[in-house]
Structure 1
């Protein structure tokens, strides 16, 4: 089988550049005071395992209680001799802060998953050495967190979770949300 195109890698690089440009964008918007920018960067390396994620985001504060925003996500995951995966997409986020210390959220996430599994040499299957699985994954998270200034720490639950979705192993996911 053919290897996946380098389009996901290019998207990941573009997202990286966008994330690096966010401080400049944030500085230009501080006069309005309603825009906040943030997101996350993640890297996990182990014995034959690599996971790199970049997830920039922006929210608009309608008032002290309600905000809405968008986010992008790009991930590269590889387990040597088993699989390689490019995951990319976006999300829509709604935030409600009834009191300054509590933040409730709803987030709709749509991800494209392109995975190539390394099957090794199989002489009775025409020498096939890999198999591809490409699909879209939709998640709807409802969450709650404890908020201190620009940082919220909490947990969210994917109400659309499916054991066979191939992206996340559990419906509950802890989060740290930072916006400046």
Structure 2
């Protein structure tokens, strides 16, 4: 697991350095090259809110993608979630993700995503049951794509029932890019 954590951190920082070097490129005369970087960037992510009966669940997961061409894109995102059931438990989850997208053909999108989350769970009835841990996920996904919306399923290759954020290895997704 530590190897996956190091790999995901290295991959994430490599993408950031690559993007920074593209933005600051200069020609031999020292003048800045006009960059089309922002014309290739799209955004997406998730937003969630559920409240009622002493229960609160808030989540935010913005993602930015760089489209290399019409077939491939790479992105990185932030993930944050807070859940609380009054008198029972509270949970705070935060982390980062990197994702690679490949549009095999117009209607099909394949994806590889590495996600690193910090999980902090506390239970009101039993403070000894509190659990704080890191969770690394490696998702392989496939989906049907129509313009800027993709609907599909992803599979967590590193899924383990114990010490996991997710209840199962397969997860449906809806990805919207704008």
TM-score tier (shorter): 0.7 to 0.9
The answer on whether the counterparts of 2:133 and 2:163 sit within 8 Å (CA) in structure 1 is no
Distance 1:178 1:30 in 2: 22
TM-score (norm 2): 0.75
> Matched residue pairs, number?
144
In structure 2, the residue matched to 1:167 is 165
The answer on whether the counterparts of 2:98 and 2:115 sit within 8 Å (CA) in structure 1 is yes
| Among candidates 90, 94, 98, match of residue 100 of structure 2 | 94
In structure 2, the residue matched to 1:58 is 64
In structure 1, the residue matched to 2:141 is 143
In structure 2, the residue matched to 1:49 is 55
Deviations 1:51-106 (A, max 9, x none): 21100000101111111010101000112222101100010000000111100000
Q: Which runs of 5+ in 2 are unaligned?
A: 1-34
Distance 1:130 1:81 in 2: 16
Distance 1:88 1:64 in 2: 31
| Cα RMSD for the two superposed structures | 1.9
Q: Relative contact order, CA 8 A, sep 6+: which one is greater?
A: 1
Distance 1:94 1:176 in 2: 16
| Cα distance change on mapping 1:31 and 1:160 into 2, 3 Å | closer
The answer on whether the counterparts of 1:118 and 1:130 sit within 8 Å (CA) in structure 2 is no
SS of residue paired to 1:164: coil
Which deviates more from structure 2 when the two are superposed, residues 41-50 or residues 106-115? Answer: 41-50
Q: Which runs of 5+ in 1 are unaligned?
A: 1-28, 121-128
| Cα distance change on mapping 1:171 and 1:46 into 2, 3 Å | farther
Distance 2:53 2:163 in 1: 25
TM-score (norm 1): 0.74
**Higher percent of residues as strand:** 1
